[in-house]
């Protein structure tokens, strides 16, 4: 039995899959958020697009969304906070972090997402992405030191431009 990628601890076929295949509608903004994450893991790009408000659908680059979904190894979802977005609400906010690896680099997508309930259905409205600070593991390469790429050139003449 496959565990749901959203991190709920429930089986996928009982958790997010019914939403993604259209058998059910998420009852809360958080449930929609979790199912959208699972859709990225499962490469269900149509679901990602179809769960956006109408004007948001036009802003999505389908090819790039598909590329991000398929070329990433999805490592986990953390819900950091939820404001409103319950069954009786018409708006809600979910702050989350989605961790993934792409091209050998581990990344964290930190977003505060806004949701609207229109005609009884929760939809993603917009999100504010919080940039992640990159922390250097080792010392900074000096301009006159050899470039760490192994070219044999000084850093300032290679990757330090």
List the domains of the chain with CATH numbers: 12-130 (3.10.450.50), 133-161 (no CATH)
Q: Tell me: the pLDDT tens digits for 96-118?
A: 999 999 988 999 999 999 999 99
Beta strands in the chain (DSSP E): 73-84, 91-102, 105-118, 121-130
Taking a C-beta distance cutoff of 8 angstroms, is the pair 37, 29 a contact? no
| Confidence at residue 134, expressed as pLDDT on a 0 to 100 scale | 62
Its pTM surpasses 0.85: no
pLDDT of residue 64: 96
Q: Enumerate residue ranges in the chain where pLDDT < 50.
A: none
pLDDT of residue 157: 83
pLDDT of residue 140: 79
The pLDDT value recorded for residue 71 is 97
């Amino acid at each position: 039995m496959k565990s749901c990628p959203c991190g709920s601890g429930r089986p996928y076929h009982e958790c997010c899959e019914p939403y993604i295949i259209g058998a059910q509608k998420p009852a809360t903004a958080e449930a929609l958020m979790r199912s959208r994450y699972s859709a990225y893991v499962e490469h269900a790009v149509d679901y990602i697009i179809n769960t956006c408000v109408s004007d948001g659908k036009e802003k999505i680059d389908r090819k790039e969304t598909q590329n991000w979904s398929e070329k990433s190894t999805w490592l986990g979802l953390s819900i950091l906070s939820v404001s409103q977005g319950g069954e009786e609400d018409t708006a809600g906010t979910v702050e989350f972090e989605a961790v993934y690896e792409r091209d050998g680099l581990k990344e964290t997508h930190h977003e505060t997402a806004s949701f609207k309930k229109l005609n009884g259905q929760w939809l993603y409205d917009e999100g504010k992405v919080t940039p992640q600070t990159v922390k250097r593991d080792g010392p900074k390469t000096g301009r006159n030191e050899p470039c760490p790429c192994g070219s044999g050139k000084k850093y300032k003449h290679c990757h330090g431009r």
